[in-house]
Amino acid sequence: MTLNRRKFIGQTAAVAATSAFVTGLGRVASANCPAMEPDRSSRSAPTTFVATWPFGKQACEAALKIFGETGSMLDAIERGIWVTESDASNASVGIGGIPNAAGAVELDACIMSGPNHQAGSVAGIQNILHPISVARAVMEKTPHVMLVGEGAYNFAIAQGFEKINLLTEQQRLAWEQWKASRPAAPDSAPQIDPDHHDTIAMLGLNEQGDLFGGCSTSGWGYKIPGRVGDSPIIGGGLYVDNAIGAAGATGLGENVMRHCGSFLVVEMMRNGASPTEACEMAIRRIAETDPKALEELEINFIALNKAGEFGAAGTSAGFQYAVTNGQFSRIIDAKSLSAKSIGPEGGNRK
């Protein structure tokens, strides 16, 4: 499915003639946003957390618990993500993450608050256990959105974060082996290896219909030092629009960030797609533009809209995501767009 450009332009032109209009769902949209805000009149969504991968379930459950204790969605997102960042057995996030080609663990993270459309982000930060918290500090304590590398680290230390070693013995040994087996050419880039990256992106909605999100990763295993992926890029690995919905990404960041992936998913929802449809449409749109075939892109999206509808899609089979609210907590198969295996539509809107 692709966005019908003629229809979209026609709609935009019609809308431009007036300052506001009523959408098919009976909601008023602004002239600049010919959007269909999800209709919340017939349902009241419970506080809901959605996160990438099966390990996201534990993080979502922690987030719901923290929300119950503090009433703060930002605390919930931040400390839910702490669970994954603290897990040394997870080779793709926080401590225990696969290092870069020089043997240093470099972390990327970002956080967004829908109601005030604020964002904070850090990239390539080393020796800090919870980059998601540094991203939150950037959002709340600085006039900036993003800090990188040494600057991000120095900021974290000045904020009272502790310096720790993120490289576990297991990952150090694996890195030694990787180094020994890698081609000697100094400019040889690390090989793409799907087993060497996973990320936590978490989206949250409260009963007031406010949306939040966070994302944290150690990125592409054995990446060139200084490489930044999509995860800390607002609109790439995460995007939250409080009027519409939120989206997050996991997969090969280079293929997400060249297309403003999470922003694109939210824009698809703005145009009336369900979360699962929006994830699928964004991937198909990316595949139309990208020289790579859809199967090669290795992109997975999760999405949550203002009505509490959630969904996900991935370029290949095997992407699973977690959803937790007061009623259930489960791991769901994302819709797979691989021609070889058409997966079930695992969202809650058909």
The footprint of ligand SD4 (CB under 6 A) covers 92, 197-199, 217, 219-220, 229-231, 237, 250-253
Q: How far is the CB of 21 from ligand SD4 (least distance, A)?
A: 37
Closest to ligand SD4 by CB, 123 or 281: 123
State whether residue 315 is helix, strand or coil. Answer: coil
> Quick check: 152 and 123 in contact, CB under 8 A?
yes
Closest to ligand SD4 by CB, 34 or 214: 214
Q: How far is the CB of 210 from ligand SD4 (least distance, A)?
A: 26
- What is the Cα–Cα distance from 131 to 84, expressed in whole angstroms? 11
Closest to ligand SD4 by CB, 198 or 277: 198
| Sequence letter at residue 199 | T
Q: How far is the CB of 110 from ligand SD4 (least distance, A)?
A: 12
The b/e string for 261-284 (b: 16+ C-beta within 10 A; e otherwise) is bbbbbbbbbbbebbbbbbbbbbbb
State the Cα angle at 281 between 278 and 282, rounded to 5°.
85
Instruction: Label residue 176 exposed, middle or buried (CB < 10 Å: 0-12, 13-18, 19+).
Output: exposed
Closest to ligand SD4 by CB, 261 or 308: 261
- What is the Cα–Cα distance from 250 to 272, expressed in whole angstroms? 23
Closest to ligand SD4 by CB, 206 or 216: 216
Q: Residue 187 has which token pair?
A: 């400019």
Q: How far is the CB of 148 from ligand SD4 (least distance, A)?
A: 14
Q: How far is the CB of 112 from ligand SD4 (least distance, A)?
A: 16
> Quick check: 249 and 306 in contact, CB under 8 A?
no
Q: Residue 185 has which token pair?
A: 């050419």
Q: How far is the CB of 72 from ligand SD4 (least distance, A)?
A: 26
Residue 146: other Cβ atoms inside 10 A: 20
Q: Which residues are catalytic?
A: 199
Q: What is residue 219's DSSP assignment?
A: -
> Quick check: 310 and 347 in contact, CB under 8 A?
yes
Long-range residue pairs from 227-231, CB within 8 A, at least 24 positions apart, any chain: 227/100, 227/106, 227/124, 228/108, 228/123, 228/124, 228/148, 229/108, 229/253, 229/254, 229/256, 229/257, 230/254, 230/256, 230/257, 230/261, 231/108, 231/109, 231/110, 231/199, 231/201
> Quick check: 52 and 200 in contact, CB under 8 A?
yes
Closest to ligand SD4 by CB, 29 or 123: 123
Closest to ligand SD4 by CB, 227 or 285: 227
- What is the Cα–Cα distance from 184 to 10, expressed in whole angstroms? 56
Q: How far is the CB of 318 from ligand SD4 (least distance, A)?
A: 12
